[in-house]
Structure 1
Amino acid sequence: MAGLPYGINAWIFLKEDGPPGTNYNSADSCFQSLIQYKVYNSLDFLGIAFFEVVPGSSGFTIKIGNGCHLGNADNPNNLLSNQDYLTYVLRDARKVNPDIKFLATMIYKGDQTLSAIFSSGNEQTQATDFANNLVIYLKKNGMNGLDVDWEGDVADRMTQSQFKILFSTIRQVFDQQPEKYYLTMAPAWDYSVYDFPTLKSTFDVVSPQFYDGTTLSEFLGAGMSPDNIGYGAQFEPGNEAPNTSAQQVWSAVSPGFNYQDKSYNYQDIFMWRLNSGNYQFEQAQLMILSQLANPPAGDSFDDTAIVAAAGNPNITRMTVRAGEVLNAIQAVNTGTGPYNTGTQNTETGIFTLLQHGGNSGGAQTINIPIDDPIISITGYTGKWYGWECVLQLTLTGKSGATYGPFGTMAGSTTQTHFTQSAQPEQSVVAFSGSTVTVPLADGSHTAIIASLNAVFA
């Protein structure tokens, strides 16, 4: 991925179920949505939160946190523990995406943070024992590294000397293994404990939590190296500066940044998280973000999974490019459900999908009332200067309002009419189809819509 060596990543918090009353195996749960709509395919790394430091046979090791689901007050019928959830996530995410890598994200508050390994004994010995035990745990569970949520108690209770000893030792032990193990960090503000040379030399990527309102210049000004900085994103309301959309994140990340007259690329995008109370918004925005960073290869397109992950909200705006034929379409969906409300609790979730097709033809943007959804598409396909394509498109709302026709069909030699209509109580929520690249009169080329299908829900 150009400019993002460590890809698009996200955390998942095992202890939170959604919607209320569900558990991991509920058909409508946020965890099953990740599987059903293949959200895991959008990830390079998944940070699983939160792990704790516990005593091992020699020194300390890690385990998934004790904050379990079993009989909790929010969902007393959930008889699954966090260990069950961990087992299921590792299994199911890998089934969806065999290349996904898993990071054990360490807890940042309480008495079982990384600072606990220095509770007694020789600090170097404790760090070495922990690093060796950590590798044993990661290998046993098929995980790929350690992720450090640097804030709260772990930042307050660890000294700068301990910081250097611990992470230098983990890096050394990781590098002795025959396979690559990763060390990542998501820092919030407070730099009093950092040993910045250690931070630069031991961590693969450091993705600041920009959503807490701290700026890149503040992190760099404090002494953080620009060479391994990622971008911490968030599509959950509640923090000071959560992100509004995938496009807003990508516009911040894709140009990179300048520091002391030198240009740098962000190393990754790391998103908190996939299963908050706003999980439909989070999961769909992640999928859109992945497409922005990795434009889909080939000529086919299909927005079905993204829109389904968002809860199948209505299309409320479309930009259509057309001239003699249908050149491109781009849909915007607006969510009204409780789990896709955007990053402000009073907002609806806005999902701007990618444009399908090229930039030729004239562009028209139409606004579609949310209470008058599109229920049918009609038009013509045929041959245009030897190319099979969609010649013309018309959209019709539930009230009978029409939009279009888009495409004059001039230059076509055959025309075949088509109609696609929704079943009662359904509407058009997305599109699938294909494009074809054609030459233009000036010698350039552009993509046009070769085939188009409405997705109803």
Structure 2
Amino acid sequence: MTDLQNGINAWIFLNEDEPPQTNYNSPDSCYQSLIDCKVYDSATFLGIAFFEVIPAEQGSTIKIGNASHSGGLTNQDYLNFVLRDARQVNHGIKFLATMVYSGANTLAAIFSGGGDPQTQASRFANNLVTYLKDNGMNGLDVDWEGDVSNQMTRAQFQILFSAIRAAFDQQPVKYYLSFTPAWPTDTIDYSTVNSKFDFVSPQFYDGTSLSTFLDAGISPSKIGYGAQFEPGNAAPNASAQQVWSMVSEGFSSQGAQYNYQDIFVWRFNSGNFQFEQAQVMILDQLGNPPTSNTFDDTSIISAAGNPNLTQMTIRSGDVLNAIQAINTGTGPYNTGTQGTETGIFTLLQHGGNSGGAQIVNIPLNDPIVSISGYTGVWYGWQCVLQLTLTGKSGATYGPFGSMAGSATQNRFVQPAPAGQSVVGFSGSTVTVPLAGGSQTAIIAALNAVFA
């Protein structure tokens, strides 16, 4: 498994409100979903976009870009809310100020007034540290494309980021410098990238290949993976599983093997925010598999907008060995990225790989409204012996699990409340020995998640 040195990360773009006509405090807003579903728990770094360069008493500093929101709220209000609420959900989350890449207030503006470049860079670096300290933020993220990549020279690049690194390193706590290029440019000083930045997350969703960045001069020991769970760019990602398949094996460069340093996902609050928030949560579970024997799909499925359960892979033999759910979203905010009107959410498997696997396809218009079966003791282990799914039409799937070898059998039925259906599961597993000395996990307890 890839060692993601700098974790799984995401951006948030404060200018945008989704759904339209909401604001930060609306119960159904993309921002409240991040809190209610604990999506922030899945991010190590949160890049907050976009900050601008503005004049200061000595040199330049940064501020969040201007935008107005309903209810008289501003981007500054949103910044204050995000810093407060994200940290309440995830005490260890780190905040990066993501710099704007277009217009007159990019990092290139630091050098626009003339004068000595080293002095301008040093003053900005000192003012930047003051801003980060005052606002409880942890570093700077440089979105490298557009105007900033055209207007800043290679010499200015070297001077500026060397000055920022020096100012950061003088502090008693760690401050981070992140580089997120859309493509290589002649204005990048690659030796500075490799020596001054903590990690580099190329925007692969813009269509530029890993080899292009490596050939340009970015060290393979710095490279992370830029992902996207919304449509609009050349190569958006289809799912958390697709990203993880690209990242988990690492990559080779000049005969050596390397791990990606992080995954950075654009972004938490687009027009399909339910899809992207849920995919980041699934991605976090893929990268950091749960160590507990309990499981609960509720938060991920809630973030996804509670889409219908449309497929299950069920492993069974004597007992219920494992379940894995796939949900299909049809709402306006959980659409996928591949030109379809549906978002597909593949949840993690709960349980081990013993028993035989069966795939159950569930019609979108005939949702599961009840689970039933038996629990009991199987060779001394308390577990779920058998499971049956029942659709709204009365169609049944199963039973799964023969109950052979069980000493007791206790029937259970869990029907959905009126107007709801089964969208996921919670429960626990237990590890049991197998013949030959190996072991596996089976389902110890199971509850339906209804919505």
Conserved? CA contact 1:52–1:63, under 8 Å: yes
Q: Aligned partners of 1:147 and 1:345: how far apart in 2?
A: 30
Q: Aligned partners of 1:136 and 1:130: how far apart in 2?
A: 10
185-194 vs 137-146, which deviates more?
185-194
How many residue pairs align between the two structures? 450
Q: Aligned partners of 1:285 and 1:39: how far apart in 2?
A: 10
Is residue 250 from structure 1 mapped to residue 249 from structure 2 by the alignment? no
SS state of the match for residue 173, structure 2? Answer: coil
1:8-60, Cα deviation, whole Å (9 max, x unpaired):
00000001001011000000000000000000000100000000000011000
**Pairing partner for 1:219 from 189, 213, 219:** 213
Is residue 64 from structure 1 mapped to residue 64 from structure 2 by the alignment? yes
Is residue 302 from structure 1 mapped to residue 301 from structure 2 by the alignment? no
Partner residue, 1:239? 233
Is residue 194 from structure 1 mapped to residue 202 from structure 2 by the alignment? no
Partner residue, 1:53? 53
Partner residue, 1:164? 158
Question: Could you tell me how far 1:347 is from its partner in structure 2?
Answer: 3.2
344-353 vs 40-49, which deviates more?
344-353
Question: Could you tell me how far 1:345 is from its partner in structure 2?
Answer: 4.3
Partner residue, 2:39? 39
Q: Aligned partners of 2:190 and 2:308: how far apart in 1?
A: 48
Is residue 101 from structure 1 mapped to residue 94 from structure 2 by the alignment? yes
Query: Normalising by the residue count of structure 2, what TM-score does the alignment of the two structures yield?
Result: 0.99
Q: Aligned partners of 1:321 and 1:158: how far apart in 2?
A: 57
Partner residue, 1:392? 386
Conserved? CA contact 2:184–2:216, under 8 Å: no
Partner residue, 1:322? 316
- Aligned AA (1:114): L
Partner residue, 2:426? 432
Unaligned runs of 5+ in 2: none
- Aligned AA (1:375): V
Q: Aligned partners of 2:37 and 2:2: how far apart in 1?
A: 25
Is residue 370 from structure 1 mapped to residue 369 from structure 2 by the alignment? no
Conserved? CA contact 1:155–1:190, under 8 Å: no
- Aligned AA (1:164): Q
- Aligned AA (2:288): N
Is residue 411 from structure 1 mapped to residue 405 from structure 2 by the alignment? yes
Conserved? CA contact 2:2–2:247, under 8 Å: no
Query: Normalising by the residue count of structure 1, what TM-score does the alignment of the two structures yield?
Result: 0.98
Question: Could you tell me how far 1:425 is from its partner in structure 2?
Answer: 1.3
Q: Aligned partners of 1:264 and 1:19: how far apart in 2?
A: 40
Question: Could you tell me how far 1:190 is from its partner in structure 2?
Answer: 3.8
Partner residue, 1:74? none
SS state of the match for residue 27, structure 2? Answer: coil
Question: Could you tell me how far 1:423 is from its partner in structure 2?
Answer: 1.5
**Pairing partner for 2:284 from 275, 290, 314:** 290
SS state of the match for residue 420, structure 1? Answer: strand
Conserved? CA contact 2:301–2:424, under 8 Å: yes
Q: Aligned partners of 2:56 and 2:130: how far apart in 1?
A: 11
Partner residue, 1:73? none
Q: Which runs of 4+ in 1 moved over 4 A?
A: none
Partner residue, 1:23? 23
**Pairing partner for 1:350 from 344, 354, 374:** 344
- Aligned AA (1:158): M
Partner residue, 2:149? 155
Question: Could you tell me how far 1:344 is from its partner in structure 2?
Answer: 3.1
**Pairing partner for 1:229 from 201, 223, 228:** 223
- Aligned AA (2:445): S
Conserved? CA contact 1:376–1:396, under 8 Å: yes
Is residue 82 from structure 1 mapped to residue 75 from structure 2 by the alignment? yes
Pairs within 5 Å for 1:328-339: 328-339=322-333
Q: Aligned partners of 2:379 and 2:241: how far apart in 1?
A: 36
Unaligned runs of 5+ in 1: 71-76
119-128 vs 189-198, which deviates more?
189-198
1:299-344, Cα deviation, whole Å (9 max, x unpaired):
0000000000000000000000000000000000000000011013
Conserved? CA contact 1:376–1:419, under 8 Å: yes
Q: Aligned partners of 1:151 and 1:381: how far apart in 2?
A: 58
Q: Aligned partners of 1:346 and 1:49: how far apart in 2?
A: 28
- Aligned AA (2:446): L
**Pairing partner for 1:122 from 105, 116, 119:** 116
1:181-215, Cα deviation, whole Å (9 max, x unpaired):
00001101242101111110000000000001111
SS state of the match for residue 235, structure 2? Answer: coil
Partner residue, 2:136? 142
Q: Aligned partners of 1:305 and 1:453: how far apart in 2?
A: 15
Partner residue, 1:279? 273
Conserved? CA contact 2:230–2:336, under 8 Å: yes
Question: Could you tell me how far 1:449 is from its partner in structure 2?
Answer: 0.1
Question: Could you tell me how far 1:2 is from its partner in structure 2?
Answer: 5.1
- Aligned AA (1:111): A
